[in-house]
Every structure is written in C-alpha cells, then in structure tokens.
Amino acid sequence: MKTFASRIFKIGINPCVNIPKKISTSFNKKGYIPVTAKINNKKFKATLVPVGGKHRLYLNMYMRKAIRKDTGDIIHISLQKDIQSRIIKTPLKLMESLRENHLLDIYKKLAPSKRKEVLKYFNSLKSPEAKERFIKRIILLIRKPSKSKAF
C-alpha cells in the first residue's frame, strides 16, 4: 500500500487530491487506475484519473461525508491497485429484450458510464414488474434519444 497525506482542493466544482508523482508512477500504468483507497481509515473503491503524467483522486460527496472532511482539509490516504473486475454483467432479461428490439449493438456502444448507470439502477429494482417497466423505458430511450434524456 502506498500512503501519503494531501490537502483537498477543487477543480471547478470537483473536490480532489493530487497523487504524488512517485506514487502515481509506482502503479506502472498510464490512464485510469482502479484502486482501493483507505482515506482517514475508511475504505472506498475509486479510480485514479490521469493528469499530465501523474494522477488525481476525485472525492465524491459520499467519501467526503464518510470521512467528515472537505475542501482545505488534509487527509491521509493509502492506495492499492484494485485487481477485482468492476464489470457489471448485463442481466439476461435486459439483453434478450434489447436483442429482440434490435438495440443490443446500440446499447453496447453507449459510454461505459451510461451502461453502468443503467445496470446499477436495474439491479436496485426489487419487483419483476418494476424491472419490466424499466426495460421498456430503456428501449424507448435508446430508440428515440432526446436532448433532455439520459441518452
């Protein structure tokens, strides 16, 4: 585990910390790096974002509330590369419905963040009826995307 302390600052509206270059390069990877972060003794899954030869860690509201820290505060961070897959599998029922409606290829071309958003919401639904309603809604949104909708 790589450990350091850093002051939270904002880029636009986004609170973050810069990862020291020595730690950033120790991951031996450019681009986005999935990590397990321990911030002030609280564990989180996060992703280091590449910025000019090093990386940055953005701190979402959930993280900041959990550690009770915000912009200007110094935090203690330990990072470890997360080797577990973060891929959320698309449920069979959703895949079949997309395939039947000839929309599977379009769905697969959505940004990974959009697919993840769809799957997290779908998986949070409890009843089969709610899941069926959501599938119909997704099909409509993919078929007829509008500027005001998620797609």
Question: Do residues 97 and 139 lie in contact, with contact meaning Cβ atoms separated by under 8 Å?
Answer: yes
Over residues 60-106, the pLDDT tens digits come to 999 999 999 999 999 999 999 998 877 788 999 999 999 999 999 99
The Cα–Cα gap between 143 and 98 comes to 10
Question: Domain containing 133: what range?
Answer: 92-143
The answer to whether the predicted template modeling score (pTM) of the entire model surpasses 0.85 is no
Whether residues 72 and 108 share a domain: the answer is no
Q: Choose one of 36, 60, 81: the last residue of a domain.
A: 81
Residue 149 has pLDDT above 60, yes or no: no
Which secondary structure element, helix H or strand E, spans residue 33, and what is its range?
strand 33-39
**Does 52 fall in a domain?**
yes
The total number of structural domains in the chain stands at 2
